[in-house]
Structure 1
């Protein structure tokens, strides 16, 4: 099964992806935890290009091409082989983030995102957890990390608000595979809800 986590910056999705992986591994299930952009050596190199530096470094169209290249390498080298071996792949972000950041918020490129995805990637997640949180809270958390990877956070609160609305709309568009989780609760409560839904899907 291919499980992805989505949400605005600072939503807690990375933490919850790690917690789900650990919980499923503790049950004896074979799990691969990965992330996007990144997850393979080539994709990690592209990650540095797109997440660091000045916000105006790349146009939305260029970002789309870079993210798709990273995703293709990730798919070939890690995701597809792991799934073929019967493992559960848990990925922190996938194409839904590209549909939002480049397809909606950074440019009117949704059609191009979907066309490239069909051509070069060709698969969706089996289950997607959307961690929903107030954009102001998420942005404060994200900026508080103080890492070099703050290029998208530097676009400000307006982008995060647009992203939240877009993700919720995407959850309706792809309703069968999306599970929207209230990220404002305590982390343990969030993790418990996610694990229960994942077990249900894996049954």
Structure 2
């Protein structure tokens, strides 16, 4: 983030923030909180859930007597549906914020699709997805919420509206850490209470938000230079030190 601020002279406006991570890391909770906090602070923001439809596919598979989405449409089918639905969701979110001028708080972004593809072992699909997703500008800040897969599993089981295996969560965690974009992510420990996670996220964004309201810097060297003294009947002359 510091590099981005320097590159823009410290005046960049925060337009796109993404929260990514494995299922159960708290992305949705934190994205909602961040959008609300930015709006309350006078920087209108909108929450966008850029889901890939995997949960919906899983529920459909269960209704049709299949254990999961992959057994219903196959691995390639799951990856194709995810890639298309997430692409459409991100496109709609970016267009909405372009029209309204609001900050887009993204619950998932393109990196989530790349990680999903890697976790599924579909490297060929990742190359295709990157071609399709390259039209989207990268978020100015991407928070990777990190949590132990075992803790994520417990959270998912507690909420009770879906199910993930430990194998999948571990594979997804590894996938995020091996993405080429990983060094640019802001890592946030999401293993504690939501309030602590929210505080870390907002603390990191403080520099961005301050950069939007800081007045232009005063030229200190100019302020220290002697000024011209006006003498009646004569042209201004520089005051002697």
Find the structure with the greater CA-based Rg: 2
1: CA distance, partners of 2:129 / 2:91: 19
TM-score normalised to structure 2 length: 0.69
> Is 1:64 aligned with 2:72?
no
Contact 2:17 2:105 (8 Å CA) reproduced = yes
Change over 3 Å in CA distance of 1:48–1:15 after alignment to 2: closer
- Per-residue CA deviation, residues 2-48 of structure 1 (Å, 9 max, x unaligned), is 1111111111121111111111111011111010217xxxxxxx566
Change over 3 Å in CA distance of 1:144–1:58 after alignment to 2: farther
> Is 1:190 aligned with 2:197?
yes
- Per-residue CA deviation, residues 78-116 of structure 1 (Å, 9 max, x unaligned), is 3223134321101111211111112x1112222222123
> Is 1:35 aligned with 2:49?
yes
Residue matched to 2:146: 132
2: CA distance, partners of 1:23 / 1:130: 19
Change over 3 Å in CA distance of 1:50–1:144 after alignment to 2: same
Change over 3 Å in CA distance of 1:197–1:62 after alignment to 2: same
Structure 1: segments with no counterpart, 5+ residues? 39-45
Residue matched to 1:97: 112
Contact 1:2 1:83 (8 Å CA) reproduced = no
SS at structure 1 position matched to 2:80 = helix
TM-score normalised to structure 1 length: 0.81
| Structure 1 ranges of 4+ moved more than 4 A | 46-49
Higher relative contact order (CA 8 A, sep 6+): 1
Contact 2:176 2:182 (8 Å CA) reproduced = no
Residue matched to 1:168: 177
Contact 2:25 2:146 (8 Å CA) reproduced = yes
2: CA distance, partners of 1:61 / 1:199: 42
Structure 2: segments with no counterpart, 5+ residues? 1-14, 62-66, 212-241
Residue matched to 2:8: none
SS at structure 1 position matched to 2:171 = helix
